[in-house]
A = this chain, B = another copy of it.
Amino acid sequence: MPMVKINGFNMNYRLEGEGDKTLVILNGIMMSADSWAGLVPSFVRNGYRVLTLDFRDQGKSQPSPEAYKIGQHAEDLKALLELLEIKCCSLLGISYGGQVAMLFALKYPQLLESLILANTMARMSNHLKAIGAAWDEAAKLKDGKSFLRLAMPIIYSQCFYSRSYEWLQAREEALGGSLTSEWFEAFQRLSSSHGDYDLVEELEKIKLPTLIIASDQDAITPYEEQLLIHRKVKASSFVVIPESGHASCYEKPQEFILLVLGFLAALSNRHE
């Protein structure tokens, strides 16, 4: 994966596929560009160019020397798109990445053709702050396996623990061993970046065609929060993935892929 200097740090990204249309994907807080490895090929096979990337403090991107606000990622993305000469794209963000996507859509709508918001919230509720504080507490242990053991149950649904227990255990095993002291410090900076996030009053300004994806058993960003976004963003479609928790792209990849492909397909032929 290529690395570029953006706003003073080395940013990791991957550009795959050959299409005219570009899909940019923004990670949830614990994810990285690699997390999408199982989904990107489906988008590429359907003719999209796909840009995945690590925010500062994520994956292979350089850690940030200091604290920042979540809006910084929108600026970093802006710079990356310029550098890659991407003048128009569809922007998909899940959870924390969805929050970045909403900020970007409000600030740089002219760079976007459409928006896909999965399992995200337009504000920080007390509950979401408490979840963040719990994860911070867990991160202090600087032990990958302990961290995952503590953080995972609220992320995944009971259904998924029934369906895919081995996948979950393998993930805990593999990921748990790889989390370094630097990762935890970076995680805490990410986590501190969106404490006062609140776009509820501004959402109506988003005029882009938007797809909103909710899960029926999302204990972190519940259905009501996505409904709120749907109510405010006029040109939005809204779909629910049943028997899924917060991380719908892991729990229900087949449904997640078809929603994204369907939205992009309907969109690309809308005005012809």
Report A's interface with B, CB cutoff 8 A. 42, 45-46, 125-128, 130-131, 133-134, 137-138, 141, 146, 149-154, 156-158, 161-162, 165, 168, 211, 214, 216-217, 219, 222-224, 227, 237-243, 254-255, 257-263, 265-266, 269, 272
Given contacts A45-B272, A154-B154, A158-B222, contact A211 B258 (CB under 8 A): yes
Pairwise interchain contact A131-B153, C-beta atoms closer than 8 A: yes
Given contacts A240-B216, A262-B261, contact A134 B153 (CB under 8 A): yes
Pairwise interchain contact B130-A150, C-beta atoms closer than 8 A: no
Question: Chain A binding site: helix, strand, loop or mixed by DSSP?
Answer: helix
Given contacts A130-B152, A222-B217, contact A258 B243 (CB under 8 A): no
Pairwise interchain contact B161-A130, C-beta atoms closer than 8 A: yes
Pairwise interchain contact A257-B261, C-beta atoms closer than 8 A: no
What is the bound-complex CA distance between A157 and B128, given in angstroms?
10
Question: Least Cβ distance of A155 to chain B in Å?
Answer: 10
What is the bound-complex CA distance between A255 and B235, given in angstroms?
12
| Residues in B whose Cβ lies below 8 Å from that of A42 | 266, 269
What is the bound-complex CA distance between A131 and B141, given in angstroms?
18
| Residues in B whose Cβ lies below 8 Å from that of A130 | 149, 152-153, 161, 168
What is the bound-complex CA distance between A165 and B257, given in angstroms?
34
| Residues in B whose Cβ lies below 8 Å from that of A214 | 242
What is the bound-complex CA distance between A126 and B146, given in angstroms?
18
Residue pairs across A and B with Cβ atoms less than 8 A apart, 16 shown, are: A126-B165, A126-B168, A128-B158, A130-B152, A130-B153, A130-B161, A133-B149, A134-B150, A141-B141, A237-B254, A237-B255, A238-B241, A239-B258, A240-B240, A257-B262, A258-B263
What is the bound-complex CA distance between A238 and B269, given in angstroms?
25
Pairwise interchain contact B156-A127, C-beta atoms closer than 8 A: yes
Closest 3 pairs (CB-CB, A-B) = A262-B262, A258-B262, A127-B161
| Residues in B whose Cβ lies below 8 Å from that of A152 | 130, 134
Residue ID in chain B nearest A146 by CB atoms: B137
Q: Which of B157, B168, B262 contacts A260 (CB 8 A)?
A: B262
| Residues in B whose Cβ lies below 8 Å from that of A260 | 262
| Residues in B whose Cβ lies below 8 Å from that of A266 | 42, 46, 254, 257-258, 261
Most chain B CB neighbours (cut-off 10 Å) among A146, A237, A272: A237
Given contacts A158-B125, A217-B222, A266-B257, contact A138 B153 (CB under 8 A): no
What is the bound-complex CA distance between A170 and B134, given in angstroms?
17
